[in-house]
Structure 1
Amino acid sequence: MDVGGTGPGIVAIDGGGLHPALDKFRLIIMMMTLSYLCALLGVMYTWPSSTLVLFSSANTTLDRPMTETEVALLGSLSSISALISTPFSGYLLDTLGRKYSCMLFALSQVLAWVVVSISYNVVAILTAIFISGFSGCMMLVVPIYVSEICQESIRGTMTSGVMVFYGFGMLASYLMGGYLSYEAMIYSCLSMSVLGVLLLVLLKESPLHLMRKGLEKDAAKVIAYYRSVKVTSKTVEEEIQMLRRAMNPELDDLTPEVEKLKPEFKEKQKMSAWKFFKKSRSSRRALVVALVLYTAAIFQGLMVVQVYAEPLFAEAVPTMSPTICSVISAILTVVSGFIAAFLMEWAGRRNLMIYASLGACVSCIVLGTQIHLHWGPHWITALFMYLFVIMYTCGAGTVPFVLVAEIFLPEIRSVASMIAVEWCLICSFVVLFVFNPLVTAVGLGPVFYFFASVCLLSSIFSFFFVPETKGLTVDVIQNLFASPRKC
């Protein structure tokens, strides 16, 4: 949807607009500001990887060495709190709005790093990790916020920036952990999290949220700012009309809701998300597609490579330093994110998911046979491990997050996205929980055969069931999910 806005207003000149590139610049700054919050998530989630050995050693900086159970909690507590916070994120998005929801969750990271910086107690550190996990639902909030601000022509590229910045955060965490002292890293992370909150102060609320609150004039001002036109311009009027239609679909038992989006605006009684899903066949199908793609995003396996990077690389590529391998992997994640952002608008979401998943499938098959049978030199393992990182990031690591931010109507976008992200977190817990026992039972090589099968199924599913959404408005996208009723 062609909406959005942040930042202080600038007066348009001569009844038209400002410099034609200025609105894109403002959108880029807005995207970078919001995606910076996801970079902080990347730092937070990978911070334990640089402190696990220190905290469990006799030379620990804490009041005592961590036990094995406490070390395990250090890596998993943030996921548990994310599971708790995500169900509430949909409600907060609709009540507080996109901007203040982001600020609230960003403050949890500030609080966590404050606790870590002033305490050396094991329980306090674990409590801080748990608190920081409440910001995990940023992966839900930020893509929705960005997608509601950008035009359809650049929506995919802007939304995919979330994953690019997450990769930047991982890379920053690996580098700080390798080259900074413990105290220097903690204060750096604290400063970065405070900066994230301060930057959010400059943003304005999503026009969609303002419209839902009845603040149409405020929404028009935000749209005008980002389109570099006057509030009374035709561009603003058209986008306001678009918001009105998307917010008020007529639903009945005979046809999908999208087919009855009227050009005229009519005030209707608000429908609960559950009733909306019950009434809307296309929304139900969109949710199923979102859940399947999120399942693919987790069970294709790159999360395992990231969380268990050092021991995994130590076993798979014993001739290289695990730390260097991890840093290279993070760099490739960032570079691949930029490639995905470009391909998102050039090749489209559907094609990217299909062919990148096929590439990931081939990489996993080669990795599995190489680790299992040792048929080639170790550099082959490293090469295809990195190729897997690239293929995954361009496909399942980016496409599902973009699609979920753009396929749902405003009435249910927050709730549907919350359900999808909550399912993603559950899948993450499952795959991380079973990985070590599975490797012990069957070996590392055969585990990659499982990942390969998931990649292949993801590609097949995308070919048959995922519509192309590039450059389309939400009502047209919903029409793609709708089909004639057969019963």
Structure 2
Amino acid sequence: MGIIQQILGTVLISYLGVTMGIMYTWPSSTFLLFASPNTTLNRPMTSTELSLLGSLSSIATLIITPFTSSVIDYLGRKKSFLLLGVNQVLTWTILASCDRVEAVLASMFISGCSGCMMLVIPMYISEICKESIRGSMTSAAVISLGIGMMLSYIFGGYLEYHVMNYTCLSLSVLGVVLLMMVKESPLFLLQKGFEKEALRSLAFYRGEKITSKEVIEELETIKRTLNVALDEQTPEEEKLKADLDKPREKLSRWAFLKKSKSSRRALLVVIMLYTAAIFQGLVVVQVFAEPLFTEATPTISATLSSVLMALLSTLAGFVGAYLIERYGRRHLMIYASSATGACCVVLGVQIQVGFGPSWLTTVLLYVYCVSYTLGAGVVPYVINAEVFLPEIKSFASMICMEWAFLCNFVVLFIFNPLVTAVGLGIIFYMFAAFCFLSSVFCWFFLPETKGLAVDVIQQSFVNKCYK
């Protein structure tokens, strides 16, 4: 019961991921235009400005993310979404109304302030969905990004520059309107002491009456996860030993993380997952898609190649959402990363040696994109939404996303100079190395979280039972 409501909530929130995906890959369709003497701006961009065009949003996300945890915990999930949606509207308003290089770069910086929605979207979805569909629904955040990127490539390839900007502005305004329909997370409401409102929200997403046994039992389960005590080892062991009548000490988030060994291990694992995922390189291919396809396969339309890549990413996201519930997070990450690494090696050889026709490069890029999306493109976001206790969920997730966007900025900023220095083929060998290292790390350190409650997942980090 309630599956329809949970899917509806997921779709409404994931629409923000679509608009973010459009903004995220918008530079790809404008690089050549902005560098051209016939640019729509007041002057052509320099090479440094073009590098900033692709990476400034990551800088902004780095700056804003440390504040995200406090905003989410103070305003709640729904109001945070609305704030991020308004930020997107502001970004497109600037792009639609200004033609100065400085204004475009400023808008890219402002757009990065909504980058932290990839922290809030999976968190919210994991809080409204049952364990049985939590993984596949959380994957919707990645799928929505793929849909947004596909739309961005289509708009950039087939719409006039100003028409594209006004279209994107309209889609962002629609997103803010749709957010009005979303109900607040029951976990957040319970954290703030609004038990009746939490009960109504939970009843809605379970398709039951507020007096039903299922809803009341689940509300009690959430309460228990919000009242975990700690000792020198783990929150789970202390939970078993604690005297239920004894008042619990209210710890700060840093103190909680310091005392909880399982939470620290979970944090380290998620950080490593994001690092591995970003340095597997798809972020570069997405942001620099059109110039990359132009260089790799000059005989094939770069716009068409980019659109097909985004379409395959979206379809792979749906397949990944199915596989992550069918086979689990751990094995999917291990095998998909290995396949991505093998593809990167072959792709590097093809780019360097050219052992096949030029269209083979495009095919290999597509295979690379699909295998990446099945593993590194989905699993880290799902794991991040599942492994942390409510007391530090937003805080720990914020740390992970801060690190992820730092890695994003580094990869995007150094890509063009690195291609000039060592060549595109060598770059893919580097990506392959990170792919294989990802598989090894996940084999030894990533526990399976499929269908498990957060306290059980935390215990698996203590027991080191990963198979």
TM-score, scaled to structure 1: 0.91
- Listed as ranges, the matches of 1:46-57 within 5 Å are 46-57=25-36
Answer yes or no: is the 8 Å Cα contact 1:286–1:407 preserved in 2. yes
Aligned partner (choices 398, 405, 409) of residue 389 of structure 2: 409
- Listed as ranges, the matches of 1:345-364 within 5 Å are 345-364=325-344
- Please state how far the C-alpha of 1:374 moved relative to its aligned partner: 2.1
Range that drifts further, 443-452 or 418-427: 443-452
Aligned partner (choices 60, 66, 71) of residue 92 of structure 1: 71
SS of the residue aligned with 1:148?
A: helix
- Please state how far the C-alpha of 1:265 moved relative to its aligned partner: 8.3
2:168 matched to 1:168?
Answer: no
Cα distance in structure 2, aligned partners of 1:438 and 1:68: 14
Q: Indicate the residue corresponding to 1:385 in structure 2.
A: 365
Q: Indicate the residue corresponding to 1:229 in structure 2.
A: 208
2:355 matched to 1:375?
Answer: yes
SS of the residue aligned with 1:412?
A: helix
Any unmatched runs of 5+ in structure 2? Answer: none
- Please state how far the C-alpha of 1:219 moved relative to its aligned partner: 0.6
Cα distance in structure 2, aligned partners of 1:250 and 1:201: 36
Cα distance in structure 1, aligned partners of 2:81 and 2:359: 43
SS of the residue aligned with 2:30?
A: helix
Q: Indicate the residue corresponding to 2:165 in structure 1.
A: 186
Cα distance in structure 1, aligned partners of 2:204 and 2:24: 35
Q: Decide whether aligned partners of structure 1 residues 151 and 119 sit closer, same or farther in structure 2, where only a CA change above 3 A counts.
A: same
Counterpart of 2:456, as a letter, is: V
Range that drifts further, 121-130 or 401-410: 121-130
Cα distance in structure 1, aligned partners of 2:93 and 2:317: 31
2:181 matched to 1:198?
Answer: no
- Please state how far the C-alpha of 1:64 moved relative to its aligned partner: 3.4
2:278 matched to 1:306?
Answer: no
Answer yes or no: is the 8 Å Cα contact 2:32–2:291 preserved in 1. no
Counterpart of 1:440, as a letter, is: T
Cα distance in structure 1, aligned partners of 2:417 and 2:32: 21
Instruction: Flag the structure with higher helix content.
Output: 2
SS of the residue aligned with 2:391?
A: coil
- Please state how far the C-alpha of 1:463 moved relative to its aligned partner: 1.1
Cα distance in structure 1, aligned partners of 2:437 and 2:101: 43
SS of the residue aligned with 1:261?
A: helix
- Please state how far the C-alpha of 1:326 moved relative to its aligned partner: 1.2
Answer yes or no: is the 8 Å Cα contact 2:55–2:413 preserved in 1. no
Q: Decide whether aligned partners of structure 1 residues 450 and 60 sit closer, same or farther in structure 2, where only a CA change above 3 A counts.
A: closer
Q: Indicate the residue corresponding to 1:286 in structure 2.
A: 266
Deviations 1:224-259 (A, max 9, x none): 111121212111121111111111112112x42123
Answer yes or no: is the 8 Å Cα contact 1:86–1:418 preserved in 2. yes
Range that drifts further, 118-127 or 389-398: 118-127
Deviations 1:376-428 (A, max 9, x none): 22233222211110100000011001100110000000010000001001111
2:297 matched to 1:317?
Answer: yes
Range that drifts further, 73-82 or 50-59: 50-59
- Please state how far the C-alpha of 1:320 moved relative to its aligned partner: 1.9
Range that drifts further, 334-343 or 236-245: 236-245
Aligned partner (choices 257, 270, 282) of residue 235 of structure 2: 257
TM-score, scaled to structure 2: 0.95
- Listed as ranges, the matches of 1:98-247 within 5 Å are 98-247=77-226
Answer yes or no: is the 8 Å Cα contact 2:27–2:287 preserved in 1. no
- Please state how far the C-alpha of 1:311 moved relative to its aligned partner: 2.6
Q: Size of the alignment, in residue pairs? A: 462
Q: Decide whether aligned partners of structure 1 residues 65 and 319 sit closer, same or farther in structure 2, where only a CA change above 3 A counts.
A: closer
Q: Indicate the residue corresponding to 1:431 in structure 2.
A: 411
Answer yes or no: is the 8 Å Cα contact 1:143–1:401 preserved in 2. yes
- Please state how far the C-alpha of 1:266 moved relative to its aligned partner: 6.8
Q: Indicate the residue corresponding to 1:9 in structure 2.
A: none
- Please state how far the C-alpha of 1:51 moved relative to its aligned partner: 2.2
2:441 matched to 1:453?
Answer: no
Cα distance in structure 1, aligned partners of 2:16 and 2:248: 36
Answer yes or no: is the 8 Å Cα contact 1:248–1:267 preserved in 2. no
- Please state how far the C-alpha of 1:69 moved relative to its aligned partner: 3.4
Cα distance in structure 1, aligned partners of 2:131 and 2:245: 22
Q: What is the Cα-based RMSD across aligned positions, in Å?
A: 1.7
Cα distance in structure 1, aligned partners of 2:212 and 2:394: 30
Cα distance in structure 1, aligned partners of 2:22 and 2:360: 30
Q: Decide whether aligned partners of structure 1 residues 285 and 370 sit closer, same or farther in structure 2, where only a CA change above 3 A counts.
A: same
2:257 matched to 1:277?
Answer: yes
Deviations 1:247-287 (A, max 9, x none): 1112112x421234359687533211111111111000000
Counterpart of 2:327, as a letter, is: A
